[in-house]
């Protein structure tokens, strides 16, 4: 989705700083980029280009730019095609703005302003905010008031950064969309962004404003950043924290892709999670959530996070016997779901900024139940809106295809289930659980070292017509997740199916060009084998993922990926999931797709 970066301070290299921030946001997905800044003659300059950031850099290459205040944007088109004109910033002779989100009543605002003689240059919804604020300024309304007044008039979730050339100041505001500001150690520079990662290493302290808090960044005040309510009274409605992200942590290092790096980070992260949750802050938060003693759990999330929630459901129901419902946030938010006072709402999200998940959380909160996030980004909107937070501690995830976050989300669910069963203080139980986590880490390590087998299978099947991933029980969400990974990065049609369900329709599609990636788990083994036989009888290509010693599984498979389920018990699905991650990764690599930034996708989906 759109990326936002703004710089205010004494550096004359503000454009470079903003471009560096935008570069870091490339992973979120975008289709055009632009910057605007105040030059040494106090003139507003704007450069914007459709396509990659490199197009914009090329355009700026030979310009002798000296600029102190700069705002920049990477656009993910919603209203209006991918063109230079539709790229942000949007500007007139008074203002320059960048926008992330959707203005739902843009059409009406535009029509009203056009009646007043305002001329629009682009097809975007964003420009309506620019002209709305400008309309107020032309009536001599002071800038802060003009922004606040205009912001009240727009509908939908958005964040904006406004550059006011007259004073060189920056303003920012948001509703239901990500926005973060930061200052450097000596308080001389301020930056704003849609993602704290863009500001890694540039600022010392971060500020996460709540919705409808107006940020005014100006050297004229005692503090560089001032926060106001929409009635322009000063406010403290923001969360501040030390910036602890370093740029190094989020570099690719020896790996060809972030996705591969993130797959490889999993063993270490798995090991670290029990340490975090068995003591200190992590323990406290788990204990608080367990004390809520829910009679029922409602899990809501999107994409991979929803599949992680589905695996966690098995823990809550299987281990805790707490009825658990998992629902896609995009559906949940528009239904009239049954929410009882004794329910607990759990929202799973890597980014903590997914619009649908935020809306589902808001709905549960409104109905009066307690809400808990299982999220990666501390300080994200979801993190701030929930009553309690269980951080998954996955570190920055850059690859659009979520990998390590899934593993950590499921494991955090497992730890919550331990807390709900009241066993978190039982030393013996903790040792056993930590050993199980460790065994999982060890098995994943082993898989990574021996990934050549998976790579070879990928090479043999990557150009086949279609893929069915099948699994039973807790492996069913793993099949769904495996298919999602393949679709998003290899651009091939893949579906996840409960193994026993294929014969109820999809089996009609099986032929010698269709691959069945079959998870042959020890549970319901015979049934799974029968399902494979059904597909094989119709000439389907079978890729079995099964126990190394399983002769029958091997015999039935055209390609076999041997694994070791022993001892992993309820964590085994996560182990198989890593096989699927690698399989998708290598197939995409053979296809030559843009693995870290697959077409049409955004890392964090902040629009509906």
Beta carbon nearer to ligand M6R, 122 or 402: 402
Q: Is omega for the bond preceding 209 within 30 degrees of 0, making it cis? A: no
CA dist 256 and 415 (Å) reads: 33
Q: Is 605 in the site for ligand M6R (CB under 6 A)?
A: yes
Q: Is 402 in the site for ligand M6R (CB under 6 A)?
A: yes
Three state DSSP letters for 76-114: CCCCCCCCCCCCCCEECCCCEEEEEECCCCHHHHHHHHH
CA dist 279 and 285 (Å) reads: 10
Task: Pull the structure tokens for residue 51.
Answer: 């396509």
State the minimum distance, in angstroms, from the CB of residue 197 to ligand M6R: 13
Beta bridge partners of 19: none
Q: What character string, x for contact with ligand M6R (CB under 6 A) and - otherwise, covers 263-292?
A: ------------------------------
Helix H or strand E segment including 546: strand 541-547
How many CA atoms does the CB half-sphere of 320 hold within 13 Å? 26
State the minimum distance, in angstroms, from the CB of residue 382 to ligand M6R: 8
Q: Which of residues 352-371 bind ligand M6R (CB under 6 A)?
A: 354, 357
The residue range among 286-294, 298-306, 383-391, 575-583 that interacts with ligand M6R, by the rule CB under 6 A, is 298-306
Which residues are CB-neighbours of 22 under 8 A, at least 6 positions away?
3, 5, 33, 35, 53, 72, 73, 74, 198
What is the number of the residue whose Cβ is closest to ligand M6R? 303
Q: Is 373 in the site for ligand M6R (CB under 6 A)?
A: no
Q: Is 488 in the site for ligand M6R (CB under 6 A)?
A: yes
- Whether 158 contacts 101, CB under 8 Å: yes
Edge-first strand order for the sheet with 238-242 is 44-50, 32-39, 67-75, 3-8, 190-193, 180-183, 205-209, 238-242
The residue range among 166-174, 330-338, 345-353, 528-536 that interacts with ligand M6R, by the rule CB under 6 A, is 345-353
3-state secondary structure of 398: coil
Q: Is 400 in the site for ligand M6R (CB under 6 A)?
A: yes
State which of residues 69, 350, 417, 606 lies at the interface with ligand M6R (CB under 6 A): 350
Q: Is 378 in the site for ligand M6R (CB under 6 A)?
A: no
Matching residue, tokens 């097809």:
123
- Whether 273 contacts 408, CB under 8 Å: yes
Q: Is 302 in the site for ligand M6R (CB under 6 A)?
A: yes
**Is 2 assigned a catalytic role?**
yes
The residue range among 3-11, 79-87, 278-286, 301-309 that interacts with ligand M6R, by the rule CB under 6 A, is 301-309
The region, left, alpha or beta by phi > 0 then psi within -120 to 50, assigned to residue 32 is: beta
Q: Which of residues 119-178 bind ligand M6R (CB under 6 A)?
A: none
**Is 70 assigned a catalytic role?**
no
State the minimum distance, in angstroms, from the CB of residue 598 to ligand M6R: 8
Beta carbon nearer to ligand M6R, 134 or 159: 159
The residue range among 95-103, 236-244, 396-404, 499-507 that interacts with ligand M6R, by the rule CB under 6 A, is 396-404
State which of residues 95, 163, 192, 305 lies at the interface with ligand M6R (CB under 6 A): 305
- Whether 23 contacts 53, CB under 8 Å: yes
- Whether 126 contacts 88, CB under 8 Å: yes
Active site residues: 2, 603
Interacting residue ranges for ligand M6R, rule: CB under 6 A:
302-305, 349-351, 354, 357, 400-402, 484, 488, 604-605
């Amino acid at each position: 989705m759109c990326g936002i970066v703004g710089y205010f301070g004494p550096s004359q290299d503000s454009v470079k700083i903003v471009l560096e921030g935008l570069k870091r946001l490339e992973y979120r997905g975008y289709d055009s980029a632009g910057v605007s800044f105040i030059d040494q003659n106090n003139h507003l300059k704007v450069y914007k280009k459709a396509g990659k950031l490199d197009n914009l850099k090329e355009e700026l290459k030979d310009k002798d730019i000296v600029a102190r205040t700069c705002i920049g944007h990477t656009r993910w088109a919603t209203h209006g095609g991918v063109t230079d004109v539709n790229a942000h910033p949007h500007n007139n002779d008074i203002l320059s703005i960048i926008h992330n989100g959707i203005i739902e009543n843009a059409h009406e605002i535009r029509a009203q302003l056009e009646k007043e003689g305002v001329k629009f240059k682009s097809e975007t919804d964003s420009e309506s905010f620019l002209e709305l604020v400008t309309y107020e300024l032309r009536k001599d309304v002071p800038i802060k008031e003009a922004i606040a007044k205009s912001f009240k008039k727009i509908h939908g979730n958005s964040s904006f950064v406004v550059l006011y050339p007259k004073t060189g100041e920056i303003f920012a505001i948001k509703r239901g969309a990500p926005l973060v500001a930061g200052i450097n150690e000596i308080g001389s520079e301020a930056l704003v962004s849609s993602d704290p990662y863009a500001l890694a290493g540039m600022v010392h302290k971060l500020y996460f404003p709540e919705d409808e808090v107006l940020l005014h960044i100006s050297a004229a005040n005692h503090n560089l950043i001032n926060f106001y309510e929409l009635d322009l009274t000063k406010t403290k409605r923001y969360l501040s924290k030390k910036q602890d992200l370093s740029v190094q942590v989020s570099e690719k290092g020896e790996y060809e892709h972030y996705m591969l790096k993130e797959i490889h980070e999993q063993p270490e992260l798995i090991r670290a999670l029990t340490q975090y949750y068995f003591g200190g802050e992590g323990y406290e938060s788990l204990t608080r959530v367990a004390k809520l003693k829910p009679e029922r759990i409602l899990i809501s999330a999107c994409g991979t996070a929803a599949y992680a929630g589905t695996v966690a459901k098995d823990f809550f129901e299987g281990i805790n016997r707490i009825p658990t419902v998992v629902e896609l946030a995009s559906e949940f938010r528009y239904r009239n779901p049954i929410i009882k006072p004794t329910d607990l709402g759990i929202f799973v999200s890597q980014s903590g900024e997914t619009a649908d998940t935020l809306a589902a959380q808001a709905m549960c909160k409104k109905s009066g139940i307690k809400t808990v996030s299982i999220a990666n980004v501390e300080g994200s909107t979801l993190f701030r809106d929930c009553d309690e937070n269980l951080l998954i501690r996955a570190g920055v995830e850059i690859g659009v295809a979520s990998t390590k976050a899934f593993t950590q989300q499921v494991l955090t669910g497992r730890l919550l289930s331990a807390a709900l069963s009241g066993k978190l203080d039982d030393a013996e139980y903790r040792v056993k659980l930590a050993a199980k986590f460790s065994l999982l880490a060890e098995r994943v390590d082993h898989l990574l070292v021996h990934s050549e087998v998976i790579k070879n299978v990928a090479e043999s099947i990557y150009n086949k017509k279609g893929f069915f991933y099948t699994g039973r029980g807790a492996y069913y969400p793993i099949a769904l997740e495996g298919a999602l990974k393949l679709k998003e990065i290899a651009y091939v049609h893949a579906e996840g199916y409960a193994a026993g369900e294929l014969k109820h329709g999809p089996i009609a599609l099986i032929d010698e060009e269709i691959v069945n990636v079959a998870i042959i788990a020890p549970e319901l083994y015979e049934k799974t084998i029968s399902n494979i036989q059904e597909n094989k009888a119709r000439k389907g290509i079978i890729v079995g993922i099964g126990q190394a010693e399983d002769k029958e599984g091997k015999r039935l498979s055209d390609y076999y990926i041997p694994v070791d389920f022993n001892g992993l018990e309820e964590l085994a699905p996560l182990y198989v999931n890593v096989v699927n991650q690698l399989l998708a990764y290598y197939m995409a690599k053979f296809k030559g797709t843009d693995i870290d930034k697959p077409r049409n996708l955004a890392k964090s989906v902040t629009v509906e």
